[in-house]
């Protein structure tokens, strides 16, 4: 029996009734072929269950974590599913879909491995984080102000590490 439904977006979590649930489900269907995910998620909680749905970005991140944690290995969907299932229930087909989407976004490469494909990340976790930081900085209106805000948010240790990196680069 359906216990509760909660819609979650950047604005926060909002309980909704069954009619609103169907309306949200229908409106959440992808409308473009761009490969972009939904902005929010809809959580379903079954009576006596604590299982909630994750947004696509979170699932992609968890799949990438499995691949990044084993940089020298190629993983089939079943291998990724086995690792992810230890933390929470997830369908094998969901893992397959996520891996295909990551391949389409060129986040992973794949090669034939029998009747399935095996996947491997195209960049390290650190290179991916650096790319994302560059994308975010590029989207800032005032790059200098954004960098200043970023520096203000760093711990003293991170600022010292950044200072050393910049000094080494300036010597080159």
Question: Can you give the pLDDT of all 172 residues of the chain as single tens digits?
Answer: 334 444 444 444 444 444 444 344 334 433 333 333 333 443 444 344 444 455 458 999 999 999 999 999 999 999 999 999 999 999 999 999 999 999 999 999 999 999 999 999 999 999 999 999 999 999 998 999 999 999 999 999 999 999 999 999 998 8
The CA-CA-CA angle for residues 67, 53, 126, to 5°, reads 30
pTM above 0.85?
Answer: no
User: Quick one: fold of 56-121?
Assistant: Arc Repressor Mutant, subunit A (1.10.10)
Bridge partners of residue 9, in order along the sequence: 12
CB atoms within 10 A of CB 79: 19
């Amino acid at each position: 029996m359906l216990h509760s439904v909660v819609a979650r977006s950047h604005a926060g979590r909002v309980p909704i009734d069954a009619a609103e649930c169907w309306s949200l489900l229908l409106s959440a269907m992808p409308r473009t072929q761009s490969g972009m995910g939904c902005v929010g998620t809809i959580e379903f909680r079954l009576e006596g269950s604590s299982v909630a749905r994750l947004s696509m970005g979170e699932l992609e991140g968890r799949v990438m974590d499995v691949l990044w944690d084993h940089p020298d290995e190629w993983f089939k969907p079943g291998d990724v599913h086995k690792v992810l299932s230890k933390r929470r229930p997830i369908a094998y087909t969901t893992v397959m879909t996520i891996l295909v989407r990551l391949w389409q976004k060129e986040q992973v490469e794949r090669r034939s491995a029998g009747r399935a494909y095996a996947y491997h990340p195209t960049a390290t976790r650190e290179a991916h984080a650096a790319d994302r930081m560059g994308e975010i900085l590029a989207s800032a209106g005032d790059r200098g102000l954004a960098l200043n805000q970023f520096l203000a948010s760093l711990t003293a240790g991170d600022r010292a590490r950044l200072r050393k990196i910049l000094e080494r680069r300036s010597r080159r």
